[in-house]
A and B are shown apart, each in its own frame.
Chain A
Amino acid sequence: MSELLRLATAGSVDDGKSTLIGRLLYDSKAIFSDQLEAVERTSRERGDEYTDLALLTDGLRAEREQGITIDVAYRYFATPRRKFIIADTPGHIQYTRNMVTGASTADVALILLDARQGVLEQSRRHAFIASLLGIPHMVVCVNKMDLVGWSRQTFEEIRDQFRSFAMKLEVHDLSFVPVSALHGDNVVARSGSMPWFDGPPLLHHLENVHIASDRDLVNARFPVQYVIRPQQLGRGAGTGDRRPGPGGDPADYRGYAGTVAGGVIKAGDEVVVLPSGFTSHVAEVRAPGGAVLEEAFASQAVTIRLTDELDISRGDMICRPNNRPVLSADIDAMVCWFSDRSSLRPGARYLVRHTTRSVTATVETLDYRLDVNTLHRDDTAGGLELNEIGRVKLRAQSPLMFDPYRRNRATGSLILVDPATNNTVAAGMILGAEQPRVAPNVTWHPTAVQRSERRSAGLTVWFTGLSGSGKSTVAVEVERLLVASGRTAYLLDGDNLRHGLNADLGFGPADRAENVRRVGEVAKLFADAGSVAVVSLVSPYRADRNRVRTSHEAAGLRFVEVFVDTPLEICEARDPKGLYARARAGQIAGFTGVDDPYEPPDTPDLTLRPGHGGPSAMAQLVIARLGL
């Protein structure tokens, strides 16, 4: 099965973005020969040494030269594994609006920089916009490596510099590839000139980056888009056959059509309809065209019927009674202003489009304007001009049902439409309660004890690795050593927690993500209380682990990631619980290392390999790394 991946590219003028995209299209054979001939002809006429692949995607350059509005251009290519949609956006500051637009739906941000120039102000801006728009994966291509003698040191300096900046942003998955777009090194094929680079070439990375668990598959959200009632004759109906409704009298049919915005919905689920608050059960879920589905998940367009006849219309939200979005008319959001004809001012009124709702809203306050280059907050700003980003409070005429954008891009995004011109003047990312399950009226209650007043500073040591890698054995030893030395430490073992706290979770990507999130939250509580939380958890997906790291760092807590890098063959030979054998026999599906990927950390704080000795030698290494 081939998956769809949306990619947003950003780079400054002449970093080689067009060349790189041209190279991807060319080397993956997405270029047709008539297009290529045209490019070769132009190159020849200009006397170029090489066929200038940048010409394949030169739409934006031409616009630039002609002084026309620069726009997002979409390009397509496919490999047997994936179909790619590239939103190609110009990188200059006056095109922030275009990058925001292209980034809004992207799974991966591809940021390009010139090896000779290193990390510039604009690279930081690109990273910031990508993180603001919640792009889950970021790949930094350090281009023109040929012009710096394929220098490993140059690449690593740029990588470290970029990474230290990205630490301040919410970037969960960050990778780096040294490339030469012009010569094709590390774009589709591995570079012969940079044998020191052991990561995959760009295309390989794009084909394999794990995107399935980026969607929110936990919190069920279904904004009703359209109510299907066949008994009301459609405006387009002719005299042809009328198809009967499915089962029973078509006069009773009432289907709620929409696109699942979060979680999983299946027949039998108890649901609540917001804002009315009526409850019912899902009677059936159908795909377009009527095929019955066992369940529907985020991004699927479906039609749902409920067991009770309720008055439901477009703009309502169907969700689970114990897991509701925030329902509020007061919205705290980051917005990017798009208009060059007007500016955003407190007191102004706009039409808000959010999920399937449209409501009028007033800008109550502009809290600050953010400098996209320095991230400096200017709280004296009186308005936002074209391409500016700021934090606002909106008051809507009727409540919206939303989640924070960082938890759900579908229920956390909005646009503002100017009623005077009908133009789209801003994009908004809703901030808000950090925890999804917090009821709207539950707020964080600060405690009277400061962390510094506690006996010792806590932290989390997180062991990740395949089943059978030896995580738990080392973790047990680490806990023992810590306690013996007088520290409070507590082992949180993934398998053990699945008996209680996580007994309701399975092993699908969404449940795994939730498992990691919960264990991360519990570890944070222990660490906050001054203990060393020792976590042993397969936690196969990089993005899930990085989220835990980010949330620790946001809380000012240390997070030490220990990668137990035992090769699969060894783990499988050990097979202490007989699980590999069962997975190979097809009795367990989605087993990490067998038919589900394990994504090793990019930059673990410590890597333990079999060569390091037995469990107690490894535990000593960990204790040394903690430096307590």
Chain B
Amino acid sequence: MTYELSHLRALEAEAVHIFREVAAGFERPVLLFSGGKDSVVMLHVAAKAFWPAPLPFPVLHVDTGHNLAEVIEFRDRAVQRLGVRLEVARVQDDIDSGRVAEDTGPRASRNRLQTTTLLRAISEGRYDAVFGGARRDEEKARAKERVFSFRDEFGQWDPKNQRPELWNLYNGAHRRGEHIRVFPLSNWTELDIWQYIAEEAVELPSLYFAHRRPVFERDGMLLAVSPFVTVLEGEEVFEATVRFRTIGDATCTGCVESAASDVDAVVAEVAASRLTERGATRADDRISEAGMEDRKREGYF
């Protein structure tokens, strides 16, 4: 017996510790679940942390309404299997009630609108801890964010005034109306996520694996043809073998050409990849260098 943990087990242990801290210390936690691979892994680890008890908190999906059908199917199956309660907060409701105005035009995306819907859901649900699947390797602004990230009563993040975070002693103290965003996968990289999915045989939406579908090119990315995007003049639709590296709003999440049709092939591809996943497939992050930091301050995921 050498008493050594593999890096995946060490990352899992850290995440499990965080889930249990929150379950013990907060009144009303909730876990953000989109069906994307990071949130799937997060839910998987959460379920393991409380075994054999059911998850002691519900999951929340902020639904842009612009989903590929596979994702919603997958989401419903996953929560059914784990026996957890699913809450859905719809961007459409905020549009209908006039709280937000939808962009128009062929390039319109509902991505930014999600912030309003998320904050509304948090306040309506009186959630005091909100688990998110963000990782620090994704992006510069996230590299500095704490595991327990304090949000004021307006849901805002103040990157200049974060609480020091030492050892595994997390400070979740907050007043009524404030909440803590909790990121159990902070120290995971994209490759760690995939290696873990392979090792644990975690089920994912089929979109993550190579399949044929009609796509077209925009801004150097491949977008899937769907009811939510308008193919513009000069954009040519063709069929390709692709997979998604992230799953978000269908209007701005691209896919990559790939023949990786199972987990092992994806792990090999990710290990060899020379492009960050956001750089490759997220139009929303390309908007500006500081794109993410601005959005995070406002209360985005």
A contacts, CB < 8 Å to B: 1-4, 32-35, 59, 68-69, 71-76, 78, 82-83, 85, 97-98, 100-101, 104-105, 212, 215, 217, 225-226, 228-230, 232-246, 250, 253, 255, 257-259, 264, 286, 288-290, 295, 297-301, 303, 314, 338, 351, 353-354, 356, 409-410, 413-415, 417, 422-424, 427, 508-510, 590
Question: What is the chain B residue whose CB lies nearest that of A59?
Answer: B140
A-B contact count (CB 8 A): 222
Question: Which of B168-176, B227-235, B257-265 is the interface stretch?
Answer: B168-176
- B143, A75: Cβ atoms under 8 Å? yes
- A242, B11: Cβ atoms under 8 Å? no
- A74, B83: Cβ atoms under 8 Å? no
B213 within 8 A of A: no
- B164, A101: Cβ atoms under 8 Å? yes
B contacts, CB < 8 Å to A: 1-7, 9-14, 16-17, 20-21, 23-24, 28, 45, 47-59, 79-86, 136-137, 140, 143-144, 159-169, 171, 173-175, 186-187, 189, 191-192, 273-276, 279-280
Complex Cα gap A131–B84 (Å):
46
- B52, A4: Cβ atoms under 8 Å? no
A250-B164 contact given A74-B136, A295-B1, A353-B171, CB 8 Å threshold:
no
Instruction: Pick 16 A–B contacts, CB within 8 A, sort by A.
Output: A34-B279, A69-B161, A74-B136, A76-B137, A225-B17, A230-B52, A236-B54, A236-B55, A236-B84, A239-B83, A242-B54, A259-B168, A298-B3, A300-B5, A301-B49, A422-B171
Question: What is the chain A residue whose CB lies nearest that of B165?
Answer: A101
- A314, B24: Cβ atoms under 8 Å? yes
Q: What chain B residues lie within 8 Å of A414 (beta carbons)?
A: 169
- A409, B167: Cβ atoms under 8 Å? yes
Complex Cα gap A290–B274 (Å):
37
- B10, A4: Cβ atoms under 8 Å? yes
The smallest beta-carbon distance between B63 and chain A, in angstroms, is 17
Contact of A259 among B9, B13, B143 (CB under 8 A): B13
- A238, B83: Cβ atoms under 8 Å? yes
Complex Cα gap A126–B37 (Å):
40
Question: What is the chain B residue whose CB lies nearest that of A287?
Answer: B48
- A413, B166: Cβ atoms under 8 Å? yes
Contact of A243 among B52, B143, B186 (CB under 8 A): B52
Question: What is the chain B residue whose CB lies nearest that of A32?
Answer: B276
- A243, B171: Cβ atoms under 8 Å? no
- B17, A82: Cβ atoms under 8 Å? no
Complex Cα gap A10–B216 (Å):
48
6 smallest CB-CB distances across A and B, nearest first, come from: A240-B83, A288-B48, A289-B48, A422-B173, A34-B279, A234-B56
A226-B23 contact given A34-B276, A59-B140, CB 8 Å threshold:
yes
Question: What is the chain B residue whose CB lies nearest that of A510?
Answer: B3
Contact of B13 among A301, A415, A423 (CB under 8 A): A301
- A290, B52: Cβ atoms under 8 Å? yes
Q: What chain A residues lie within 8 Å of B12 (beta carbons)?
A: 288, 301
Q: What chain A residues lie within 8 Å of B276 (beta carbons)?
A: 32, 34-35
A257-B3 contact given A236-B84, A288-B48, CB 8 Å threshold:
no
- A415, B83: Cβ atoms under 8 Å? no
Complex Cα gap A509–B175 (Å):
46
- A415, B169: Cβ atoms under 8 Å? yes
- B162, A226: Cβ atoms under 8 Å? no
- A104, B166: Cβ atoms under 8 Å? yes
Contact of A236 among B7, B59, B81, B169 (CB under 8 A): B59
Complex Cα gap A185–B174 (Å):
49
The smallest beta-carbon distance between B239 and chain A, in angstroms, is 27
Contact of B81 among A233, A240, A290, A424 (CB under 8 A): A240
Contact of A34 among B84, B166, B169, B275 (CB under 8 A): B275
Q: What chain A residues lie within 8 Å of B59 (beta carbons)?
A: 236
Complex Cα gap A101–B162 (Å):
12
